[in-house]
Amino acid sequence: MAPFAGAADYAGPLFDTHLHYNQEAWDGHAGPYPPAEALARMQRNGVKAIVANSRPNAGTQTLAAARETRAAGVTVVPFVRLYRNRDDYDNWFRDDSIYEMVQAELARGTASGPYRGLGEFHLYDSANANGPVARKLIALAEQRQLAVLAHVDDVAIDLLMANAPSRGRSLRLIWAHTGIGGPPVARVQALLERYPLLMGELSYRPGLTCDGGTLCPEWRALILKYPERFLVGSDTWVNQRWSAYDEIMRGYRTWLGDLPPEVAQRIAWGNAAGLFGIK
């Protein structure tokens, strides 16, 4: 099932919890990664389920409806992306037309079922977590039990959680990259302890792997302490990530193989499957 896995590597199913199918990957007409190409990459890497989101949302709608998706045995968990175009990256948190677009998408759903989350969204300035539309979207996510995939710093995690009606006790926040700026492991641990539903997605995480692609000691210790709180994802934010998809997944299989099998299975598959109720 996993032709790229070495003898000691994790060889079970993967849940890609950070997948984009953006316009430049394939826009319905041209582009290097039409559904058959994208699905072939998932299938040959043993990726059995994905959190799909895209700029604009047409890409997710396409994957959710594609005959190739079912043929490849891939389950699509759709998220509403907050971006129609690149300008929205810096404006979504204060633009009411984004809130309206999200509500329209939620009402519409997808061929793979209702949307299960919002994001990925970015906050390049953590203070924008308090933008009027950011506040409304976080409240909406908690009320509707939608997960949130957030590319933010550790300061913004506290701000987003504070804006949830439960003050963060009930918000299912997936922290993209577990902090791409590399906040210290102790800070990550403190946030995991403070917010019981906070999960860390590990693509691009600085300091995660050391020699030979195995886990660095302090990350190995953190993952063993919180085996139910981490996820893996490809982050196909540019087409180069689609061309590197095999290597990205092989990299995960390498360090997952360095963990006890039941822990590896949770991070590769079980945590996300449990979050979204996938068998």
Q: How far is the CB of 235 from Zn ion (least distance, A)?
A: 4
Q: Which stretch binds Zn ion (CB under 5 A): 9-17, 116-124, 158-166, 269-277?
A: 116-124
Of the pair 105, 235, the CB lying nearest Zn ion is at: 235
Identify the residue among 154, 235, 255, 263 touching Zn ion (CB under 5 A). Answer: 235
In sequence order, what DSSP letters do the residues of 96-165 get, joined into one string?
HHHHHHHHHHHHH-BTTBS--EEEEEE-SSGGGGGSHHHHHHHHHHHHTT-EEEEE--HHHHHHHHHTST
Q: Which stretch binds Zn ion (CB under 5 A): 42-50, 73-81, 119-127, 185-193?
A: 119-127
Please tell me whether residue 120 binds Zn ion under the rule CB under 5 A: yes
Of the pair 49, 149, the CB lying nearest Zn ion is at: 149
Please tell me whether residue 16 binds Zn ion under the rule CB under 5 A: no
Q: How far is the CB of 176 from Zn ion (least distance, A)?
A: 6
Of the pair 98, 150, the CB lying nearest Zn ion is at: 150
Q: How far is the CB of 38 from Zn ion (least distance, A)?
A: 15
**Residues binding Zn ion: number (CB under 5 A):** 3
Task: Copy the structure tokens of residue 205.
Answer: 């995480």
Q: How far is the CB of 204 from Zn ion (least distance, A)?
A: 9
Please tell me whether residue 201 binds Zn ion under the rule CB under 5 A: no
Applying CB under 5 A, the residues found at the interface with Zn ion are 120, 235, 237
